Amino acid sequence: MKFNDAVQMLLALGQETRLTVFRLIVQEGDTGINPSQIAEDIGIPPATLSFHLKELQRADLVSVERQSRKLLYRPRAESVDQLMEFLLFNCCGGKSCTPKRTKKLRAK
């Protein structure tokens, strides 16, 4: 993944409403969700939702499919996977990220 692509994705997700919309879309997975259901679930006007959906599309985080007169939004899992790989590349310097358990000292 290119650095600029990661920045675009993170910018898109860095806005509260878009993050909420994205999470709803992710929860539906391959089934997808239509905009009217999203608008109803989070209580935003259709025009506002349309703006946020376009930003998520532009960042390649969601795909849209037209089914007759309706639109269906789905997460682009491969893009999310690539973003996670980019963020976690060489995580912890190649060492295990699991924190070591330490004994708790009792307060006296």
Is residue 105 domain-resident?
no
Half-sphere exposure of 29 (CA within 13 A, CB side): 1
Q: How many CB atoms sit inside 10 A of residue 32's CB?
A: 19
Per the structure, the complete domain to which residue 57 belongs is given by 3-89
DSSP letter at 100 equals P
User: Domain count of the chain?
Assistant: 1
Is residue 15 domain-resident?
yes
Is residue 7 domain-resident?
yes
CATH code of residue 28? 1.10.10.10
Is residue 94 domain-resident?
no
Judged against a pLDDT cut of 80, whether residue 85 lies above it is answered with yes
93: left (phi over 0), alpha (psi -120 to 50) or beta: left
Measured between alpha carbons, how far is 60 from 58 in angstroms, rounded to an integer?
A: 5
Judged against a pLDDT cut of 80, whether residue 103 lies above it is answered with no
Q: What is the pLDDT of residues 21-72, one digit of tens each?
A: 999 999 999 999 999 999 999 999 999 999 999 999 999 999 999 988 899 9
Is residue 65 domain-resident?
yes
